[in-house]
Structures are given as C-alpha cells and as structure tokens.
Amino acid sequence: MNKRGAEGNPQKNDVAQYCETSVHPSSPIIEAFRVFQIELDTKHDKYERLVKLSRDVTIESKRTIFLLHRVTSVPDAEAILNEADGKLNGVRQKICQIAEELKGEDMYQFHRAFTAGIQEYVEAASFQHYIRHRTLISLEEINSKLLFMMGAKGFADTPSSDPQILTFQVMPADYLLGVADLTGELMRLCISSVGNGDIDTPFQLSQFLRQIHDGFSYIGNTGPYEVSKKLHTLRQSLGKVEDACYTLRVRGSEIPKHMLADVFSSRNTHMDPEEAVV
C-alpha cells in the first residue's frame, strides 16, 4: 500500500500540475468542462430545492391526515372536511412550486427528490375523499386538481389578464403507493369509530379494504417494487379491521362500547404465514 502524506496522491498532483502548466484556460476542453460544471451545479441545486418542497408537502399532508382523524369525535364532520380542504389547497401550492421547478425538465431525473411528498399528498387527498364520499379517489381526479393558473406573480386563485396553465401529473406508481398507505389510516379510522360508538363504519371499511387488497393482488409483481413491501402492511390493516368486525358481530353485546377500542388495539392480528410472504 502506498503511503500518502501531506502531498496526497502523487499521480493526481502530477495531472493537476500538468493541466495548470500545459492546458490553456481558454482551450475548448476547459470551456467544455466549465459548461458541464454549470449544468451539474444547476441540476444539484434544483434537486435540493425539490427535496425541501417535498418535505413541506409531506409535513402539511400529515397535518391534514391528523385533522381528518378528528371527524369521529366531533358532531359536525363537514367543518373538519372544509378545514382539510383549505390545508390541501396549501399543499397544492407547494406542488405548484414543484411543477415550476420541473418545467422543461425530464421529470424522471428528479423523481426521487419529490416522490415521498407526492405519495403523502395522495394519501391525504384520498383519505379526505373517502370520508366525504365513501369511495376511492381515482388518479384522474387527483390530477384534475393539480392544474394551476399562473399569473404574473405566480400561483393565482383568480383569473388574470394573461393566465398560464401549469400542470403536474402524479405518476401511477406514486398514486398506488399513496393508496397503499391510505389503508393504515382507514384501519385507525375504524378503531377510533368503534371507540366513539360507531359500529357501522368498521363493516363499511372491511368491504372497502378488501376491494383495495384484491386490486393490489391483481398487480402482483408487475407493479413498482415498493408495492410488494407495502402489501404486507395492507394485509395487516385489513386483518385488524376484519378482526374488529368479528368481535363486534360475535361479542359486541358483551363488551361495553367505551372499552371496544382498547380491546381492538391490544389484540394482535393472526395471519397465515404464507400470507406474509411477499
């Protein structure tokens, strides 16, 4: 092994010295590498801005989800849903900034920078849609709300004299992963609903989660590799909801309503070992 002292790598130093003495600063090679340096710096700066925007989208989407879980404990659920609308509008403004950063760029080069935030937004938007309509929001509905009217000063809620339309299209993979995460929130909604005396919601959620599970089973290994990882969690959520429905149907009259949520939370879902294999 060569010993490297304060002089560092001798070969590297020789190359640097040769470039300084033998290559003219205005040579085509140096000029080309200066262009490459600017392009790489610009790309890295954009990537970092997208990561920060994605973080903001994730934080605000999680806050929206926490807010929506309050619908089981308030008399007026519509007020919560309207407040969630306002929060989601704020999230869309952040997504609008992501769309501006991606204007004229190859979206796939920067996908890893913002995919986590978009998945969290899909989860929040689909959660609100289910609470209000008891259905699963489609990818087309998600994308239809990501059309932004841009004025001279950026994002505008009201039409301007010279509007420009900016769009952001959620990728199918991000939509699927967001829906997979939704199942965990629906399981929590089931437990909190029972704790507040609502014994109808668990049976509705059981049917809904079974349909989602069947849909993901059809995808199999043809979808994004992250789906197979989340399928196990999806099955666990479905199992807990079905366990809650079983307990309500068989032992619901024996357990006081205020204790049902504790019973469901403490029970473990027993799954077939083959079911856990992904």
Instruction: Indicate whether 177 and 158 sit together in one domain.
Output: no
Instruction: Indicate whether 59 and 181 sit together in one domain.
Output: no
Instruction: Indicate whether 94 and 143 sit together in one domain.
Output: yes
| pLDDT one-digit tens code per residue, 215-260 | 988 886 666 778 878 888 888 899 989 888 888 887 665 666 556 5
Instruction: Indicate whether 43 and 149 sit together in one domain.
Output: yes
| Domain tally, the chain | 2
Does 195 have pLDDT greater than 60?
Answer: yes
Instruction: Indicate whether 72 and 90 sit together in one domain.
Output: yes
Distance, CA of 244 to CA of 238 (rounded, Å): 10
pLDDT of 46 reads 95
Asked whether residue 145 is domain-assigned, the answer is: yes
Residue 81 — φ and ψ, nearest 5°? -65, -40
Does 133 have pLDDT greater than 70?
Answer: yes
Please, where are the H alpha helices in the chain?
A: 10-22, 28-68, 77-102, 111-133, 139-144, 172-195, 201-219, 225-251, 257-266, 273-276
Asked whether residue 111 is domain-assigned, the answer is: yes
Q: What range defines the domain where residue 113 resides? A: 17-170
Instruction: Indicate whether 24 and 143 sit together in one domain.
Output: yes
> pTM, whole model, 2 decimals?
0.79
Instruction: Indicate whether 196 and 80 sit together in one domain.
Output: no
Asked whether residue 3 is domain-assigned, the answer is: no
Average pLDDT, the chain: 82
pLDDT of 271 reads 39
- 268: domain CATH number is 1.20.58.200
